[in-house]
Amino acid sequence: MNLVLLDPRQTASEIWSISAKRQLEHLRTHVDVQVGDTLKVGVREGKRYLTQIVNVSEQQIQLKALHEEAVPAKLPVTLIVALPRPKVLRRLIMDSVTLGVEKIILLHSYRVDKSYWQTPFLQQLSHYVDLGLEQAGDTIAPQIQLHKRFKPFVEDVLPTLITADRPAFVAHPYVTEAMPVAIDHPCIVIIGPEGGFIPYEVDLLIKNGCQAVSLGNRIIRTETVIPYVFGRLFTL
Amino acid sequence: MNLVLLDPRQTASEIWSISAKRQLEHLRTHVDVQVGDTLKVGVREGKRYLTQIVNVSEQQIQLKALHEEAVPAKLPVTLIVALPRPKVLRRLIMDSVTLGVEKIILLHSYRVDKSYWQTPFLQQLSHYVDLGLEQAGDTIAPQIQLHKRFKPFVEDVLPTLITADRPAFVAHPYVTEAMPVAIDHPCIVIIGPEGGFIPYEVDLLIKNGCQAVSLGNRIIRTETVIPYVFGRLFTL
């Protein structure tokens, strides 16, 4: 936690207060906060501040804003990813948020186990978004959408997202064209499930405007390939 | 598992056999192997083959080589990383191996909890190396070294690793120079612990030949920053 995320209503008066159990526990155990210490605080969907702690009690930590700080910029990227298994999903959401992805679309695909759509984690995505924001020092949650049908999404929704200024790249091992490097402009990145998209799916993606690009001949796990791709595409 | 890693002695005769419980279970549960199927097999520290299954029994799976395949190239990088907590260590080793890191050095640092050096995972690194190789389709394990004393390592060992053709970059949030992009030549990457290196450590690294470079103003977890950095530095 490199920033404490508060709701706007917690920062309405001059003295702000942290009262969420998770945040209090972290601040007590890992940071050992004391009156007078400074603390980075973000207002959900708002600004970010350096604050100073004015009171520490069992139930809450009270603070006042010292000055505003810059909220880190987002990566201009929409990440479309085949829904992974629940354990991977949590990490994928946290890491994508930490890295600054603007929009995340979780998509069904032939090799996605249907049971993955039943995981309770899908009801708790906002919790993992919070963890990702607090890790990064960010305050703005990405949009997250779920699409449980591959074909209607790829044929009807995806073409409305792709523009000349916002190309879509699908990572695919069996093509010669490499994923571009340091493009630093908006784009859509599409990552398949464990085992990859089936040929029908790759063909449908290409037919609907995506470029299939290779990431070399190592097979990298979904949760690892996401930071790898963003490190490649964006130069901060 | 995108390749089954065997010891050279398992491939000495014309018919090879897989008998390790972990590999048998994976092949039965996730791949449902049958006689006649092809299977990618790597010989530890050796070549990689496409093979065909000739016999499946309770105790073993037998196969014969069809033809040799290319082993993926390594990234020409030495990764020096402050020893993370045990859970992160496993992932870090697996991911670094999957991504093709040539050499990994686990280093002590002020913010590394001394108890981390007692974790049983440090005795099982070769297991996580195997998992990383089998994920990537690689056969060649990286070198792994442990250095429990920061100062002697940085003053005496690190300078012998840095050359004009192999610069060392330490990721550090408070510098203006950005981590380079797409250098595609040998280098050393140094990643600090959770909370970062302390100023004394960063100063000692710089004094001993490292360049402090920034990765932007988002704070990224160790296990996420590693693929992010390699995606940035290398273009396959």
B232 contacts A232? CB cut-off 8 A = yes
- Are the CB atoms for B108 and B154 separated by under 8 Å? no
- Are the CB atoms for B41 and B4 separated by under 8 Å? yes
A228 contacts B236? CB cut-off 8 A = no
Quick: pLDDT tens for A126-164. Answer: 999 999 999 999 999 999 999 999 999 999 999 999 999
pLDDT at A59: 93
Token pair for residue A233? 């595409």
Token pair for residue B6? 């065997």
Rounded to a whole number of angstroms, the distance from the CA of A120 to the nearest CA of chain B is: 23
A135 contacts B217? CB cut-off 8 A = no
Token pair for residue A165? 């200024």
Non-local (6+) Cβ contacts of B21 within 8 A are: none
DSSP readout, B86-155? HHHHHHHHHHHHHHTEEEEEEE--TTS-GGGGG-GGGG-HHHHHHHHHHHHT---PPEEEEE--HHHIII
Residues of B in Cβ contact (< 8 Å) with A228:
99, 227-228, 230-231
Q: Which residue type does B48 have? A: R
pLDDT at A173: 82
Token pair for residue A147? 């699409």
B224 contacts A99? CB cut-off 8 A = yes
B236 contacts A178? CB cut-off 8 A = yes
Q: Which of A90, A115, A119, A49 is nearest to A223 (CA)?
A: A90
ipTM, two decimals, is 0.94
Non-local (6+) Cβ contacts of A3 within 8 A are: A40, A41, A42, A48, A133, A134, A136, A137, A138, A139
Counted across chains A and B, CB pairs separated by less than 8 A come out at 98
CA dihedral A105→A109→A111→A114, nearest 10 degrees, is 80
Q: B85, B111, B131, B219: which to substitute to probe chain A, counting the most A Cβ within 10 Å?
A: B219
Beta bridge partners, B75, equal B101
Q: Which residue of chain A has the CA closest to B92?
A: A224
B221 contacts A95? CB cut-off 8 A = yes
- Are the CB atoms for B205 and B197 separated by under 8 Å? yes
- Local confidence band at A174 (pLDDT 50, 70, 90 cut-offs): confident
Quick: pLDDT tens for A180-211. Answer: 999 999 999 999 999 899 999 999 999 999 99
Residue whose pair of structure tokens reads 């995606």 in the numeric block: B231
- Residues A44-68 have a mean pLDDT of 96
Q: Which residue type does B117 have? A: W
- Residues A117-124 have a mean pLDDT of 95
Quick: pLDDT tens for A22-55. Answer: 999 999 988 889 999 999 999 999 999 999 999 9
pLDDT at A2: 93
B2 contacts A235? CB cut-off 8 A = no
Tally of CB atoms within 10 A around B211: 19
Beta bridge partners, A190, equal A80, A170
Beta bridge partners, B64, equal B52
The rounded distance, in Å, linking the Cα atoms of B94 and B134 is: 10
Token pair for residue A119? 């995981």
pLDDT at A189: 98
Residues of B in Cβ contact (< 8 Å) with A95:
221, 224
pLDDT at A18: 96
Show the domains of chain A with their CATH numbers. 4-69 (2.40.240.20), 75-233 (3.40.1280.10)
Quick: pLDDT tens for B172-214. Answer: 988 999 999 999 999 999 999 998 999 999 999 999 999 999 9
Quick: pLDDT tens for A12-24. Answer: 999 999 999 999 9
pLDDT at A53: 97
DSSP readout, A47-96? -EEEEEEEEE-SS-EEEEEEEEEPPPPPEEEEEEEE---HHHHHHHHHHH
pLDDT at B173: 82
Token pair for residue A118? 């039943």
- Are the CB atoms for B212 and B192 separated by under 8 Å? no
pLDDT tens sequence for chain B (236 residues) = 899 999 999 999 999 999 999 999 999 988 889 999 999 999 999 999 999 999 999 999 999 999 999 999 999 999 999 999 999 999 999 999 999 999 999 999 999 999 999 999 999 999 999 999 999 999 999 999 999 999 999 999 999 999 999 999 999 988 999 999 999 999 999 999 998 999 999 999 999 999 999 999 899 999 999 999 999 999 97
Produce one character per residue of B96-125: b if its CB has 16 or more CB atoms within 10 Å, e if not. Answer: bbbbbbebbbbbbbeebeeebeeeebbeeb
Say whether pLDDT at A236 is over 80. Answer: no
